[in-house]
Structures are given as structure tokens and as C-alpha cells.
Amino acid sequence: TPIQAPVLDSCGVATNLNNNKELDINCCPPTTDRIVDYRVPPVFQMKMRPSAHRVSPEYIFKYNMAIDRMKRLPKDDPRNFFQQANIHCAYCNGAYKQQEGQDGPDPSKFLQVHNSWLFFPFHRWYLYFYERILGKLINDPTFALPFWNWDNPKGMTIPPMFLDERSALYDKKRNKDSMPPAVVDLGLTDIKDPLQLVTNNLTIMYNEMIRGNSDVYGFMGKAYSQGDAPDRGPGSVERGSHTSVHWWVGDPNQPTREDLGNFYSAGRDPLFYCHHANVDRMWTLWQYFIPSNKVPYKRITETDFLNASFLFYDENAQLVRVTVQDCLDNLRMGYEFERIDLPWLDYRP
């Protein structure tokens, strides 16, 4: 049986997984009786997600305005910035119990969207609605999130638009040592020499995208079905570059590495969504742009994967149920990524 969308009424206390203590914040969403099965609307105009280091001042202005409006929505509006951040907390910090069919939920097994094949699909849907909400708030249905191009030497620093303290894109809970010109450390190696870091990062990307995946689960993450204990095993990108970026930006002077370095708080930093847009891009690149001679098949066909479902509030604050099978193709979902070259493609170590 696939992992079922959680029952919002049963949302409970969440745990800070960095110190295993109960969290004193409530990260459960508003509840409602009306759940609609989501249908991806027909695509009239493809959205183009831009590389965050290359966007125009006009783009930054719009993005900032959208996030600012999101922060100003009523606190209990599910589209509010902090409600959106709490989605990550609820799905990742054990607030939801897994549903167990007729016998009801098994409290010993909480729902975890990391460290398994749910990682890419969950975060894709999360960003999808986040992007639509932002677009709606600025009346621009073509608005697309930027991606932090940390796999390319030109994008290996925190994108400048997130650094302006007066901007809605700013977050003060970040590692001071990771501010530009510091080069991102995708292997958490503590290498200080920027050129060596770049080389090491490209090698890591090559390994995660091409070399380290003997089968589809090596990239996507291990199977995770109803009744399984969480944390089956992450795929290569989730385990590697993805987690490193979280840790590298999270503030070591906060009690538990807030914001980006902790599941419950990660979504409070606008940079989270930009980081994850690149993670999402890695999935697309792996699916469509990487020669498949290394990985014999790139599709997971088990129904436990395809029929797994999640709940999100859409841009109209309607609660919707979405499935993994409806998010496997980003073009069908109405967005693509700016084409940037992939220097790691031939970075065989």
C-alpha cells in the first residue's frame, strides 16, 4: 500500500530532529473538511524558472514583492509565509502519523518525506504550490521560482538577492562564514581554497548524477510504503549536495542550526525554495538530460510509489490531494528551467 496523505485532524506534536526534543511550536496547518483531488491544469504558457544568479532587477523586485505579500497574509491563512514554512515541519518532524487502513493510524510510525523515494515528489509539489501562491499574490501567473545553481561554478555562492537585509528574501539565521564570496561546500569538506572547492563540488555532482546510481533507487531513494518505518535510505542528491547546502547555510550559532540546517525551520528561509528549485532541477536533468547508458531504467513503476499522496493548500487556499504520478514530468506541470551548461557532466574523477 502506498503512503497515504495525512489526516490533518490527527496532526500533533512535532520533534526537533537535531536534538530529539519536542518542539514548542505548533506546525500543523489549518484544517478543513473539503479536500479536492487535484488535477494539474492544462498548460497554456510554460513558466521558466531562472538561475538565481542571472535574474534581472525587475525579477528581484517582483519576487521580493510576492514574498512580502505572503508574509503579510493573515497568520491563519494557509498560504501565509509561516504556514508554508510549517508544511515542511509537519511533513518532516513527525507531526503526522501514518495511516494504517482499517485499524487507524499506528502512532509508532510517523510520516517522513525525507530519506526515501518520496523526497523528490514531495518537494516538487511543495514548490509547485508555493510558486502558484506567489504568482497569484502579484497577479502574475507566469511567475516562476529561481533556482540556486550551486552545481555550476558561476552559482556556487549564496545568490545576491537573498543578502539585502531590507528585502523580504533576507533571513538572519544563516552561517556568517557562508556569505559570499564563500564557495559552497557540497561535500562539507572544510576545504578553504575556492578553486579546490569548485573542483571538489563538480566531482561530487558527477558522482551523484551519473556515477553513483547503479539503479533508479540509488538516485530517487529507497522504497517507502505504508507501514514501513521512516528513513529507508536517501538517494544520491538528497544525501549529498542537498543536505550539505542545508547544513552549510544553517547558522551554527543558533541552538539547532536554524534556519536551513533543521527540518522544522528550513522553510522559514526564503532561500530554501531557491535551493530546492535546484534540487528539483537535478531530478529533471537526471530524467531527461543524462545519457541513460549507466542507468538501465529511470522509472519507478511500483504503484506504492505512483499512488503515494500528499495534501497541500493551493493558491486559492483550497486543500487538495496530489499524487506522485502526477508530478513526474515538470513540463506537464507547466514549468521548465533556464538552460545552463552542466560542467560536471564530464567531470569524471
Closest contact distance (angstroms) between CB of 275 and ligand C2O is 7
Helix (H, G, I), strand (E, B) or coil at 312: strand
- By CB under 6 A, the residues from 127 to 186 that bind ligand C2O are none
Which DSSP state fits 33? Answer: S
Nearer to ligand C2O, 3 or 92 (CB): 92
- By CB under 6 A, the residues from 252 to 271 that bind ligand C2O are 266
Closest contact distance (angstroms) between CB of 245 and ligand C2O is 8
Nearer to ligand C2O, 246 or 281 (CB): 246
Q: Which of 287, 274, 204 is nearest to 239 (CA)?
A: 204
124 binds ligand C2O (CB under 6 A): no
Closest contact distance (angstroms) between CB of 279 and ligand C2O is 7
Closest contact distance (angstroms) between CB of 309 and ligand C2O is 17
Identified binder of ligand C2O from the candidate list 88, 97, 174, 257, rule CB under 6 A: 88
Helix (H, G, I), strand (E, B) or coil at 274: helix
Closest contact distance (angstroms) between CB of 276 and ligand C2O is 6
Q: What whole-number distance in Å separates Cα of residue 43 and Cα of residue 173?
A: 37
Q: Which of 157, 117, 130, 139 is nearest to 238 (CA)?
A: 117
Q: Which residues pair with 106 in a beta bridge?
A: 98
Q: Check: CB of residue 90 under 8 Å from CB of residue 11.
A: yes
Closest contact distance (angstroms) between CB of 125 and ligand C2O is 12
Identified binder of ligand C2O from the candidate list 92, 161, 249, 277, rule CB under 6 A: 92
Q: What whole-number distance in Å separates Cα of residue 87 and Cα of residue 92?
A: 8
For residue 332 the three cell numbers come to 506537464
**Alpha-carbon torsion 85, 99, 314, 336, what sign?**
positive
For residue 259, say if its preceding peptide bond is cis, omega within 30 degrees of 0. Answer: yes
5 binds ligand C2O (CB under 6 A): no
Active-site positions read 88, 114, 123, 242, 246, 263, 276
Give me the 276-305 binding string for ligand C2O, x by CB under 6 A, dash otherwise.
x-----------------------------
Closest contact distance (angstroms) between CB of 9 and ligand C2O is 23
Q: Where are the alpha helices (DSSP H) in the chain?
A: 57-72, 81-92, 119-137, 194-206, 216-220, 236-237, 243-249, 263-266, 271-288, 303-306
Nearer to ligand C2O, 87 or 138 (CB): 87
Nearer to ligand C2O, 85 or 138 (CB): 85
Question: Cα-Cα-Cα-Cα dihedral of 42, 118, 66, 153, to 10°?
Answer: -110
114 binds ligand C2O (CB under 6 A): yes
Identified binder of ligand C2O from the candidate list 47, 242, 268, 281, rule CB under 6 A: 242
Helix (H, G, I), strand (E, B) or coil at 106: strand
Q: Check: CB of residue 53 under 8 Å from CB of residue 159.
A: yes
Q: Check: CB of residue 264 under 8 Å from CB of residue 93.
A: yes
Nearer to ligand C2O, 174 or 246 (CB): 246
Q: What whole-number distance in Å separates Cα of residue 81 and Cα of residue 205?
A: 31
Nearer to ligand C2O, 49 or 123 (CB): 123
Residues contacting ligand C2O: total by CB under 6 A: 8
Identified binder of ligand C2O from the candidate list 79, 246, 257, 268, rule CB under 6 A: 246
Nearer to ligand C2O, 123 or 281 (CB): 123
* Binding stretches for ligand C2O (CB under 6 A): 88, 92, 114, 123, 242, 246, 266, 276
